[in-house]
Amino acid sequence: MQVEFSTFRPMHREIRDELEDAFHRVMEESWFIRGKECAEFEREFAGFCGCRFAVGVGNGLDALYLILRALEIGAGDEVIVPSNTFIATALAVSYVGAKPVLAEPEPGTYNISTDQIRRAITPKTKAIVPVHLYGRPADMDPILELAQRHRLYVIEDAAQAHGARYKGRRAGAMGIAAGFSFYPGKNLGALGDGGCVTTDDPQLAERVRVLGNYGSGVRYHHLMLGTNSRLDELQAAFLRVKLRHLEQWSRERKRIASRYLEEMDNPSVCLPMRNSEKYDGVWHIFPIRCRQRDQLEAWLSSRGIGTAKHYPVPIHRQEAYRGMYEQDGYPEADAISRTELSLPLYYGMTEQEISHVIESVNAFPG
Ligand SMILES: *Cc1c(COP(=O)(O)O)cnc(C)c1O
């Protein structure tokens, strides 16, 4: 039996007519950038997150970059990011000329540790960017409290966590602002690139909007050295369709993860933490840990099962950041990069496929 690591096919088969209607609506309207679809999507997505504003942008990296620009963070400043996140979190900080300072995660949760943040704070620190990694919310309250004490901004990287809840609050509604990605593989994905910024602050929302539109609020009048980063009408129309189904898709992801958690049983495999009332994650991926990770990967592959690694090379060892970080300074990120393996988890997996993954993991000789 073949089980792909991920596929959109079952999801898109179910909503094909709705997506085609959305496409025709935009063609009929014949307005492709900054029109009704984007405005409606922004309203709907802000409502979904429980915050006042959403601003559509070009992608998730731009969302973080534009928030940092709007907060006037730049050269000479430091921003604390997790050592085990996807590189985009750090790149956004580098793009504004600030320094990404890496803080290690809490073992077990994969999310940034408040203690490690505390140790990383210097007089140059301006902001903290917790990432709700793998769809599981970071422990936000102690982070928000620490930030308040040091007068730092908290910017959420919610690129993997559309709809996740922390103590009932949605990802994207807890910091000063949040960056979302709608890359196709995210829990809410466009049929191309897309992203957005959420915030409760009207001035910040407006600054992000202006910065993403050539620094212009009124056409041909440029207030800031902006860039071009906008969510186009087609992607916004597709996202409006998909947003209506997101809760159902998240429920299904949680059901698959529950089956894995209930039925997987192999002494050489370490399973991720369950959801709880406090941490209601949306399982962007299902990460397991295994000392013989590469053998497990080959074993599953020989049984037709696709897997992935998030992420095989941590930021402090990336060529792009050569010379920036102490090579042995991030043992937790190193350990994750060597032992993490992500199992198939997508909307539309059949019971037989889920069972095949479980049986194959359980049969791994270790
Ligand atoms: C995907 C991702 C991003 C970047 O989003 P893009 O839309 O691909 O630019 C940022 N942060 C995290 C944690 C991500 O997973």
For residue 88, report the distance from its CA to the centre of ligand 1, in Å. 6
Q: Please state the rounded mean pLDDT for residues 226-242.
A: 98
CB-based contacts of 191, cutoff 8 Å, min separation 6: 19, 184, 234, 235, 238
pLDDT digits (tens, 9 = 90+) for 11-30: 999 999 999 999 999 999 99
pTM flag (> 0.85): yes
Report the C-alpha gap between 357 and 310 in whole angstroms.
18
Q: Which atom of ligand 1 is nearest to the CA of 64?
A: 10
How many helices (H) does the chain have, and how many strands (E)? 13, 14
Termini Cα distance of the chain: 22
Please give the distance of CA 21 from its chain centroid, rounded to a whole number: 28
Q: What is the DSSP string of 73-141?
A: --TT-EEEEETTS-HHHHHHHHHTTPEEEEEPBPTTT-SBPHHHHHHH--TTEEEE--B-GGGPPP-HH
Say if ligand 1 is within 6 A of residue 85 CB. Answer: yes
HSE toward the beta carbon, residue 43, CA cutoff 13 A: 7
Q: Please state the rounded mean pLDDT for residues 351-356.
A: 98
**Best of 65, 67, 86 for a ligand 1 pocket test (most atoms within 8 Å of beta carbon):** 86
Give pLDDT, residue 204.
Answer: 98
Give pLDDT, residue 366.
Answer: 85
Dihedral sign for Cα atoms in the order 169, 170, 173, 174 = positive
Say if ligand 1 is within 6 A of residue 325 CB. Answer: no
pLDDT category of residue 107 using cuts at 50, 70 and 90: confident
Q: Which amino acid is at 263?
A: E
The answer to whether 222 touches 206, Cβ cutoff 8 Å, is no
For residue 87, report the distance from its CA to the centre of ligand 1, in Å. 8
pLDDT at 342 over 90: yes
Output the six-digit token pair for 62. Answer: 């731009």
Could you tell me where the DSSP H helices lie in 175-214? 202-211
Nearest residue to 292 (alpha-carbon basis) of 269, 261, 265, 266: 269
pLDDT digits (tens, 9 = 90+) for 180-232: 999 999 999 999 999 999 999 999 999 999 999 999 989 999 999 999 999 99
For residue 35, report the distance from its CA to the centre of ligand 1, in Å. 25
For residue 181, report the distance from its CA to the centre of ligand 1, in Å. 5
Helix (H) / strand (E) element for 286: namely: strand 286-289
**Best of 62, 89, 134, 239 for a ligand 1 pocket test (most atoms within 8 Å of beta carbon):** 89
Say if ligand 1 is within 6 A of residue 227 CB. Answer: no
pLDDT digits (tens, 9 = 90+) for 114-151: 999 999 999 999 999 999 999 999 999 999 999 999 99
Could you tell me where the DSSP H helices lie in 161-310? 202-211, 233-243, 246-263, 293-302
pLDDT at 49 over 90: yes
- What's the mean pLDDT when you consider all of the chain? 98
Say if ligand 1 is within 6 A of residue 195 CB. Answer: yes
